[in-house]
Structure formats: C-alpha cells, structure tokens
Amino acid sequence: MPKQTFFNLEPEKRQGIIAAAVREFAEHPFEQASLTKIVESCGIAKGSMYQYFEDKLDLYLYIVDLAYEQKKAYVGRAFSLEGDIFAVLSEYYRLSYQFALDHPLLHQVANKFWDSRSEALRAELEKGRLSRSRDFARVLAEAMAAGKVNPQLDPEAVFFVYHAVGKELIDHFHQGCNDEFLQQVLDVLKYGLQARD
Amino acid sequence: MPKQTFFNLEPEKRQGIIAAAVREFAEHPFEQASLTKIVESCGIAKGSMYQYFEDKLDLYLYIVDLAYEQKKAYVGRAFSLEGDIFAVLSEYYRLSYQFALDHPLLHQVANKFWDSRSEALRAELEKGRLSRSRDFARVLAEAMAAGKVNPQLDPEAVFFVYHAVGKELIDHFHQGCNDEFLQQVLDVLKYGLQARD
DNA sequence: TGTCGGTATGACTGGGTGGTCACATAAGGG
DNA sequence: CCCTTATGTGACCACCCAGTCATACCGACA
C-alpha cells in the first residue's frame, strides 16, 4: 500500500506518477519493468518514489489493483443479465473487449499480471482468481438448477474452460477481435464439439 | 543456430551445456534467464559460450527447439488414432501430461516459451502455433466431413478454444492433474454447456 | 527570526547483465 | 622444431538496476 505521503500529493502530480507507472507496467512484466524509467518518465526523483511507496512491488500491486478496479467497474454490468447465463457470458466478453479498446494500457497491465511467474506475486494471483470465480460459480449454479445447463458437466471443469478461453481471448484482443469471431468461440463452448442428434 | 564448434564438442560436454541451459530456461523466461549462471552451472568459461552460440537468443532458440522436438516425438502418437477425433484429443492431452511428468524441465521450457512477450520471439511464436494447428485442422476437417462434429461451428473458433484450453491445462500440470479432471474438461468441450434435449 | 516536521533530491552503493578480447593452450603438418 | 588453425579462458567493459542517505528545501507556527 502506498504511504500517506502519496495521497497528500496534489492530484495532478499523483496522476502523473500513476500514468507513468501504468505505461511502464503495460509494456513490461513486473520483473522487467524499470522503476528508473518510471521516475524519469514522470520527472520526479528516484528518492521521491520511496517517499510514496515501500518498494517496486508496492507500486506494482497498487497499479494492478487500480487497473482491476477499473475493469471490474466496466465489466460488472454483464452480471445484471441474471437468468440467461449465455447472455451473461456473451456480454461479459464483449465488455472485456470494449474495455481493452477504451483503456488499452490498463488492459495490458491487468493482462500481463496473469503471466507473472514471480513467487512474490503467486499469492496475489490466486486471490484474484478466486474472487473472479465466485460470480461465475453463482451464475453457473443458478443456470444448472434451472436446467439450462448440461447437468452431467463438472462445474469446476466448466469454470476452468471458460477461464482458459477468456484469458486467451483477452490475450488476443490486441490483434483485433470482431464480435462475430467472439460469438463463434462462445458457440463452441455453448454447443460443444460433438454433433447433436 | 549453434556454430560448428558446438557440434565438434565431446558429446558429454555438449550434454552438460544443454542440461545447464535447460535448467535455467525452465526456471526463467528468456529475458530473465542469465547466461552467466548457465556457464557457472556447467563449469565453462563465458567466452566459450560465444564459441558455440551467436548470442543468448541463439542458445535459447536452440534449447526451445530441442524441448519441442522431444515433446512432439512423445505426443505425436495421439494422431495415430485416426477416425475418432475425441479419442485423439483425449490421448493428446493425456500424453502431454505424461510428458510433463517424465520431463518436467523440458516441459517448463516449452511452456514458458509461450508467454515470452519479447519482440525478438514473436515470429518464432507464430511459426510454432501454425505448425501445431495443421495436424489439428486436418483431424477436425475429417471429423466434420464424417458428420461426427457439430457442423455449425467455425473450425477456426474450435481451434482457438482447444488451443486456449490446452495451454491452460499444460500450465496447470505442475499442480497435478488427474485423468478424471482432464476427462471432465474434455467433456465440457465435447458436449457444450447448453443442456441437450 | 528560528526551528521543526514533512517532503524533494540525485549522487552513490553494491550487484547484476550480455558480450568482448588479448592471451593461453592444444593438436596437427611440414 | 615451428607455424597454423581451432579452442578455451576470465578479466574486463559499458550498461542497467533497486534501493539508500545526507542534504536541501519549504511552509507553518512561535
């Protein structure tokens, strides 16, 4: 967590620091991101950074959190379509894509976070995965109870699959991804590979 | 490509270098892997490394290639089960898992390769993806022609989904992954989320 | 005016990196 | 025995890094 000093800053300066950090962490994973470049890019002294944050990791986690909060606010509406799980999923990924278009840097920060292999970040990673699985698990359980979802499937396996595909979709957002392709991918998940009678 | 000098080495020494490099690249992505540590770990001089390889990238690509060749040899049998695409897929992932158990370091090298974000590796990444999509596309086309596969699906989307899930499965091999869970994940893909009549 | 807490600073430390190069060694062929 | 060619070597170079610290600045209050 940032120190109090950081929050005492004039908002303008604070935003400048945040913006510079977002730029750097959007381009490089934690280990390769350079604090030196961040302070140069926003024109403050190296030492000042240590008045605001404990260390590089502290800054990083603050920025990742920020990116995630923004994304959650953006994407959360999808879950308001209660009842129709397929509409929820479609809207969820559509909004994720919109977010990536509107906030490419925040998108990249959040995205790069997931392939951090650093031990220091493992705990945070797991926490994030769990918190996101909760909403999904709830919607899935409801849909199963309502008989809308294939009852022979293992809910955990379903989450695993959607998580994997979601990650890959998000990874490929930067290459462009029209609504049609998105819909086709979701259809694969919805109808399954095997031909129906 | 390694220089001729590398292939002139006594096999024992050559294997020592390979083993050390595999250890390092299994633990760290390309950018964070340390040539210095590799030469220390196999007891040769830094300068010698540059008699064998052009640079760090040259060594890395050689090692990745090696890991992939081994994996292909191990996993390729799956495609001999022509005709039943679901058997092929099941066997493919089962063998991938076996490979990860038998050769954990090679597995990690191959695996880490996919989340390299370095520009220098982009071209290689794309090449690998294409070469692996070919076998899959062939089996899929056959199964579609035979009416075993849902004809309304977009083959490209199908490949996308299987690639994504495969990557995530492989990522999670190190946490253990029993046959049963694997089967359940494949069932999700096979039967689809929507309840059948 | 003095002084005191909070803040800003950037030179510096100690450690790491990939890559180089002048030199050493060894093996053959004349 | 020398000369050439192929290898081996590790000190060294230039660069980058996170993090520290003595010093300076600044506004407020006395």
User: Could you report the per-residue pLDDT of A11-70, keeping only the tens digit for each?
Assistant: 999 999 999 999 999 999 999 999 999 999 999 999 999 999 999 999 999 999 999 999
A196 found inside a domain: no
Mean pLDDT of chain A: 90
**Phi, psi values for residue B194, rounded to 5°:** -70, 140
Q: Any chain B CB within 8 A of the CB of A178?
A: no
The yes-or-no verdict on residue A9 having pLDDT over 80 is: yes
SS (H, E, C) B13-26: HHHHHHHHHHHHHH
Dist. CA A88–CA B118, nearest whole Å: 35
Any chain B CB within 8 A of the CB of A149? Answer: yes
- Whether residue A169 contacts residue A96, with contact meaning beta carbons closer than 8 Å, is answered with yes
Can you give the pLDDT at residue A16? 98
C-beta of residue B162 within 8 angstroms of C-beta of residue B89? yes
Tokens of A192: 């399954």
Structure tokens at A147: 């008989």
Asked if A158 and A136 touch (Cβ cutoff 8 Å), the reply is no
Q: Is B115 contained in some domain?
A: yes
Looking at the 3D structure of chain A, how many domains does it have?
Answer: 1
Give the residue among A83, A91, A79 at the shortest CA–CA distance from A142. A83
In the prediction, which pLDDT does A61 show? 95
Q: What CATH number does residue B123 fall under?
A: 1.10.357.10
Instruction: Note the pLDDT of residue A47.
Output: 98
Give the position of tokens 């294409």: B130
The whole-number pLDDT of residue B100 equals: 93
Does the residue A113 lie in any domain? yes
Backbone φ, ψ for residue B183 (5° rounding):
-65, -35
Which residue shows structure tokens 């540590």?
A: B37
Instruction: Note whether residue B75 is domain-resident.
Output: yes
pLDDT at A127: 74
Report yes or no: A178 and A169 within 8 Å, Cβ to Cβ: no
Contacts with B150 from chain A: Cβ below 8 Å: 191-196
User: Which single residue is written with the structure tokens 């994030």?
Assistant: A128
Phi, psi of B149 (to 5 degrees): -115, 140
Say whether the CB atom of B27 is under 7 angstroms from strand C.
Answer: no
Write down the pTM of the prediction.
0.91
Which tokens sit at A136?
């999904």
Q: Which chain B residues have a beta carbon less than 8 Å from that of A181?
A: 154, 156-157
Block means of pLDDT (10 residues each) for chain B, 197 residues, are 96 97 97 97 97 97 94 91 88 93 95 77 72 83 91 92 90 80 94 83
Cα angle A137-A138-A141, degrees, rounded to a multiple of 5: 80
Report H helices in A28-172: 35-42, 46-52, 56-75, 85-102, 104-113, 119-145, 155-171
A3-7, A67-71, A79-83, B67-71: range with lowest mean pLDDT: A79-83
- A29–chain B Cβ distance below 8 A for any pair: yes
How many C-beta atoms lie closer than 10 Å to residue A109's C-beta? 25
Strand C reaches within 7 A of the B34 CB: yes
* Inter-residue contact A53 to A14 (CB < 8 Å): no
A1 CA, D22 C1': Å apart: 27
Residue A142 in any domain: the answer is: yes
Q: How far is residue A72 from each of residues A69, A105, A175, B26, measured CA to CA in Å?
A: 5, 15, 22, 34
Best mean pLDDT range from A11-15, A78-82, A128-132: A11-15
Q: Identify whether B196 is part of a domain.
A: no
Task: Inspect the interface and report whether the beta carbons of A153 and B193 lie closer than 8 Å.
Answer: yes
Classify residue B151: in a domain, yes or no: yes
Record: contact A160-B168, CB cut-off 8 A: yes
CB neighbour list of residue A61: distance below 8 Å, 6 or more residues apart: A124
Phi, psi of B44 (to 5 degrees): -115, 165
pLDDT for position B39 = 98
Domain encompassing residue A70: 4-191
Whether residue B197 is contained in a domain is answered as no
For nucleic chain D, which protein residues have CB less than 7 Å from any of its atoms?
A 33-37, 46-47, 50, 55-57; B 4-5, 8-9, 13, 44-48, 50-52
CB proximity list for B130: less than 8 A, separation 6 or greater:
none
